[in-house]
Amino acid sequence: MPEPRDTPRIITIDGPAGVGKSTLAKRLAAHLGVAYLDTGAMFRGTAMALGEGSWAWPEPQIQKALAGLSFSLSGTGADSRVRLGGVDLGDEIRTEQVGMWASNIATLPVVRAFQKLAQQAIGHTTPLVAEGRDMGTVVFPQADPKFFLDATPEVRAARRFLQFQIMGKPADIHEITASIRARDHQDRTRAAAPLKPAPDARIIDTSDLTIDEVFDTMLEAL
């Protein structure tokens, strides 16, 4: 896909779970007419493919399993789809359980190295709005601009709870809050690529902002 005129080739949006990254990344990608890369879906797809407890496997076993995985990206904006083995990743990866599995495997350097190469390979083929946890710090340090979104755990839990209600899925607000806090701690303290803003990232606290207000702030930065 040709790079749109006056549009940065890669824009990154990082931040913790439930902060609005996906919604805003899709909207920004659609506005710019470029692809949206959901790297969280890539980690979740990997976690589901490897299965529960895979983070405790010997490294050679993990490497062998990763060698059999192939990611690709299709579409633009909200219609962008991460594909694993040629199959679109859907709602089956969006459970809190799979999210925690993904957080567990994300602590492994061998998994992060595999994901980094897969994400960079996609970024070499098309302009992107890339959303994740280390897009601006590790995977696409050349991106401009970079955004880091944040919000309190309570606000993020309430947002996730509402998402589950809209989807008609059972959810417990206390369990969601506890899960978010646990993932925050694991993501921010892991040795490999901990969750943190890039030095040149624009940090936006979304706790008291609407999606439209955050989006307008991002457009101003562009």
Q: What is the pLDDT of residue 2?
A: 43
* pLDDT exceeds 60 at position 6: no
Of 210, 198, 48, 50, the residue nearest 130 (C-alpha):
198
State mean pLDDT over 14-25. 91
Q: pLDDT grade, residue 9 (50/70/90)?
A: confident
Peptide bond into 194 cis (omega under 30): no
Q: Please answer whether residues 7 and 32 qualify as being in contact, where contact means their C-beta atoms are separated by less than 8 angstroms.
A: yes
Q: pLDDT by residue (tens digit) across 101-132?
A: 998 999 899 999 999 999 999 999 899 999 99
H-only helix segments in 137-210: 153-167, 173-189
Q: pLDDT grade, residue 196 (50/70/90)?
A: very high
Look at strands 81-84 and 87-88 and give their pairing: antiparallel
Q: pLDDT by residue (tens digit) across 46-104?
A: 999 999 999 999 999 999 999 999 999 999 998 999 999 999 999 899 888 998 899 89
Which helix (DSSP H) or strand (DSSP E) does residue 111 occupy? helix 109-123
* pLDDT exceeds 60 at position 157: yes
Which helix (DSSP H) or strand (DSSP E) does residue 39 occupy? helix 39-50
* pLDDT exceeds 50 at position 7: no
Name the residue ranges covered by the structural domains of the chain. 10-208
Distance (Å) of CA 128 to CA 21, 141, 162: 14, 13, 28
* CATH 3.40.50.300 fits domain 10-208: yes
Mean pLDDT for the chain?
A: 91
Q: What is the pLDDT of residue 192?
A: 76
Rg of the chain, C-alpha, whole Å:
17
Q: What is the pLDDT of residue 78?
A: 87
* Residue 138 DSSP class: I
* pLDDT exceeds 90 at position 163: no
CA distance 10 to 26: 14
Q: pLDDT grade, residue 167 (50/70/90)?
A: confident
- Exposure class string for 203-215: b at 16+ Cβ within 10 A, else e: ebebeebeeeebb
Q: Which residue has the higher pLDDT, 169 or 122?
A: 122
* pLDDT exceeds 70 at position 3: no
Counting Cβ atoms within 10 Å, is residue 171 exposed (0-12), middle (13-18) or buried (19+)? middle
